[in-house]
Chains A and B, each alone.
Chain A
């Protein structure tokens, strides 16, 4: 039995400790917002936060998450209030939407570490996330927009 804290909720799961965190989130905890894309940390669709750091849950053994705080897309904000979610909605970023949980979770770490990213910073921070629909131009604009929303929020 392993104890996990995901989005602030404590649960115990009976799984092989080597099982990737991704499948425990999806199949045991029914948090299906985190997606399977490649299983090799190549596409970023499975990105979640482990103690605030972006990790690829498809290659992270669930045992590594024990004793740490796991945040998934379902826990990014209550009611789509995170500046990134607001910007994503304002600019209608998603197309098929499958990669977007991972994009948002990667962008959330980028913005927390760098509240005013340049295009270059965005290129670097988002390089690990693939979007097959080609929403990259909007992801870039939305990250800039979220940065502006965050700045507005602070100056209020």
Chain B
């Protein structure tokens, strides 16, 4: 019996139907109910073929007779490290020989559903905390069975045996049996009802800087991303999609495209016109040779300037209340000092290094898809529906992801949909490749956000009132996640502002969610990517207005937030906040929690006369609870800083005449190695609740930089990206 079907027949959280999904979702997200608009969730897929002599006690691990231990993960590896950290959890409890541990991506099967969200997805910086017990239990179960198998052979009580490095050892006699040799025997035993997990002091892998399992394959070109997948008879498709979101083709002429050698077919699908060719180059040339008359749709003539004006006007009107404490109107009226400000943050592209792509092979009675997917359950279901097949006839293979950042967790599954539709129509396996320009102009951006704030200080300089009106598109609206919108408030638009930990007696956060044809999506750190910038910048403004040290003011306002305080203090200490700033430099601080983790940064910057900004040093302190792999955490923070600075210094998607202006890395620029600051990461030793690590390093890096710029120049950054023109000396 295969590992997954064994798990399925075991009846443990496997037959997931809509009602259960809703239940799980509701319980897990603290009352947020996710309505699933798909008709059914996929039934169990026949999964991993374990060879007869292999031992597969649950869906997550196989032990081969030669001792190789394979850990199967339902999560996608996009650089964040789950390909190593999840096996570490399992192998530690199993006492497996780490040098014999391999990792493998799971098929789509309910056994691998997210323990909280009830579908297969990788996102929200949830993989570690939501799998922590599951993977440890899976390892402990395997260990218990191997011990039982050895004890049966030796006719000794299991309690007299211990395990070490993939061996069961009878302590009294010193007899040893290798896990591989016990595999066949263990496979015949029934798993125990309960297992005991290790005391953390006995961890051998968890908490240690273990080398990543995927590094070698990523150093010789052998790691397979979906763009690398090849199938017999496969052709490549490049699509012409509408140049304006919401537009569509009125008519097209494919004569010139079809004349290009290598072009085989031109196929229209709902999202565009696909040129199918022997390879990318012919497909691309063919696509560019299509003559298409477009219906521009509702965005014709639209521009970022209009959007800014519309949003600014909207921000002056009351929105839907997301948080209300005290009486802000009265507090502002009675304030000794009042400060008002408007902040603006642009659309941002994920710009994963691997452009969007997908391979689909649709046959009369089967459909296979290869995708770098963060949303395997939805992607597979969509593929089945588009192919006109049953879910059990449809397989989705998860490959390595050449970057995700949320872009490959798409509720409408368009990446998979296109490939399946083209393959079905073409009758051959198809790889759809988005050019970089297609990817950059393809939408699904972090929404453009506009914030309008007012703050009131009392006579002693304490913050008495804070109002914040937020304007930005909701990307949950119209998706299977729409019912997460509560009382008109999309939590992903206000998170990080409405739930501020700062003790402010009179507080109002409200929201406008205008709709627009520009597709938007979660982007590494989601709502926190804009709210943390605004909250941490405006708090800094109020601190300076009150004549208070921005660090000390934060300390006071966080008196009842010990985890925030701890990281704030640690970052300040390590950065030498109270020591003189090096000549010519400015220092700024920011603190924020997101995804269950707590981060503080101190930034050191300088600004040239030309306005050119240099970020010299970023000191980070974080508390994410009990850690699994400290080196992965460091890597994620280094990456988060660079990701955040890239956005703050360069990132901007704008619309002109309804079209996206940016196209490639020349006009949507990435930070490069010579711009990379010195990054120090300090991890708080913590036994508090576990949080995430992939995203929470992003939000408060940029405001620390902006606050440092203010400290140095007196110039307040209220619009991102930071422009040299804003900082140039007069």
Listed in ascending order, the chain A residues whose CB lies under 8 Å from chain B are 16, 19-20, 23, 26-28, 30-40, 42-43, 45, 72-74, 76-77, 80, 85, 88-89, 92-101, 104, 122-124, 126-127, 129-140
Contact = CB atoms under 8 A, between A and B. Distances in A.
Interface in B657-688: 664-666, 670-674, 676, 679
Nearest to B674: A123
A43 B212 CA distance: 25
Contacts of B507: none
A96 B353 contact: yes
Interface in B211-235: 211-212, 214-225, 227-228, 230
Q: Taking each of B78, B219, B224, B353, which has the highest tally of chain A beta carbons within 10 Å of its own beta carbon?
A: B219
15 contacts: A20-B281, A38-B436, A72-B221, A73-B221, A89-B211, A92-B635, A95-B80, A96-B404, A97-B79, A97-B223, A97-B402, A127-B672, A132-B405, A134-B676, A137-B679
Contacts of B631: 92
Given A31-B221, A33-B221, A38-B665, A95 B635 contact: yes
Interface in B170-200: none
Contact of B635 (A33, A37, A138): A138
Contacts of A130: 353, 665, 670, 672
B674 A132 contact: no
Contacts of A123: 673-674
B635 A97 contact: no
Contacts of A19: 279, 281
B665 A94 contact: no
A132 B281 contact: no
A90 B336 CA distance: 58
A132 B221 contact: no
Interface residues of B, number: 62
Given A16-B261, A92-B215, A123-B674, A97 B281 contact: no
A100 B673 CA distance: 14
A89 B219 contact: yes
Nearest to B433: A36
Interface stretch (B43-51, B460-468, B640-648): B640-648
A134 B400 contact: no
B92 interface: no
A95 B230 contact: no
Nearest to B643: A134
A85 B211 contact: no
A40 B440 CA distance: 14
A85 B220 CA distance: 8
Contact of A101 (B78, B221, B236, B676): B221
B128 to A, nearest CB: 16
Interface in B51-78: 77-78
Contact of B79 (A16, A101, A133, A140): A133
Nearest to B431: A27
A89 B679 contact: no
Nearest to A43: B665
A123 B215 CA distance: 23
Contact of A33 (B211, B216, B222, B664): B222
